[in-house]
A and B are shown apart, each in its own frame.
Chain A
Amino acid sequence: MADRERRHTRPLGSVFVPHADVLNADDLSRAILRMAHEIVERNRGLKNVVLIGLQTGGVAIAERLGELLLEIEGNAPPVGSLDVAFYRDDIGLRPVLPEATTDIPGDLTGKIVILVDDVLFTGRTIRAALNALGDFGRAAQIQLAVVVDRGHRELPLRPDFVGKNLPTARDELVDVTLDGVTLGRLESL
C-alpha cells in the first residue's frame, strides 16, 4: 500500500505492524517474471504495448516489468506513471493529495495500455485510473496487472495479470516493495 494511503488511513499517526511474510524477494521476482511472460503471451509480443505504473506503489513494479520485458523480447515498451488523485470519487470524504508526477508517454490512442499497481483492493483507484486514461487518448485495450489481489472489490473490475491472490481481512494492510510482500495491520503507538 502506498504511503499516501497509509498516512491517510485511520487511525492516523499509527504504524504498520507486520504479522506475516507472504512473498520474499525471490518469490516476488519470480511472480513478476511470470507476469511479464503472461503479458507477452496475451499480447503476442509487445506491439503497441505501453506500461503505466500507478503512483506511487505501481511505478517501481512497472519499471521492473519493463526491464524484464526487454530481456524477454529484446525491446522495452514505453513506461509511464499516473497519479489518480484528481480523478478519485472520495474528495471531500478524506484528504486526497497528488503525491507524484503523471508522465504519460505520448498519445494513447490505439495503444494496449497495461495499468500496473501493487495492490488491488476496492478497485476505486483503478476506476479513477480508467477515467484518467480517457483524457490521454482512446486506448485500443486497457489491461490490469497487480502484484497482489487482496479481494474486497467494490466495483465490477478484475485483474488480467496477478502475482498473488491473497485473502485478507478488510482492516489488514498489504505492504509491497521489491523486497517482498508482507501482511500486517496499522496499530496506534
Chain B
Amino acid sequence: MLQATNLTKKYGDFTALNGLNLSINSGDIFCLLGANGAGKSTTINLFLNFIEPSGGQATINSMDVKQYPKETKQLLSYIPENLMLYPNLTGLENLDFFCGLGGKRYSKEQLEELLAQSGLQPDFIHQRVSSYSKGMRQKVGIALARARGAGVLLLDEPTSGLDPKASNEFSELLLDMKEKGVATLMATHDLFRAKDTGTHIGIMKEGVLIEQFKSEDVSFQDLEKLYLKHMHN
C-alpha cells in the first residue's frame, strides 16, 4: 500500500534521505526509529508530497504521490508531532471543519461518536480547543483519520510529549485502526512504543534505513541494544 523505491532527498550537498526502499502493507504499523536528522520526517514529508524527491518515488496504492497528488491525498491521514487545531473552534467544530475541507459531511451525532471513539472525554467535545491538552488534540487527529476512512496513516512522532497514559491510549487507537486494515508509517523516538505497537521496525541513520525487521522478531532489550549500537557507531 505504501511504497518507497530508491527514494532520495537532497538539499544542495546534504543528503537528507538516501535511496530508501520500504514497503508497508494494509494492517502494518511501520515504526521508523532514529535520532534527530536521521531522515524520518523527510520520509513522511515525501509521502505527504510536501517536498519533492530528488530521486526515486513514493507511492500510495501504486500511485506516485508526485504524479497523482490529489488522488493519493484522498487516501491518507496525517498526524504531526504537535497537531494544531483552530483554537476558536470546539473539538467537534474542528473535526467538522477538517472533514468539510476534504468534502466529507457528518451529522453532529456522528462527529460526537467519532470523537468519543477516539477517546476524547464527552465534556470536552463542545469546548474550544484552546483549552485542550496535546493528548486531546491528538485524539481529535485520530477521530479525523477515522472520519476520512483513510487507508494510510502517517504519524510524525505523535506520542512525543504525551504522558504515559495518553501515550498508551494513543497506541490502543492505532492498534484499533490496524485491525481495520490501515497501513501506518510512524516516525518515533519511543523504542517501547515502537516495539509495543509496531508490526515492523526500521532504524534510520543519516538518511539511510540501516535495519528493518518485524517487531515480533526482537525483544525490547535486543531492540534497545541494536538501536544504541547504531546510534553510537
- Are A and B part of the same complex? no
Give residues in A with beta carbon < 8 Å to B: none
Q: Which residues of B contact A (CB under 8 A)?
A: none
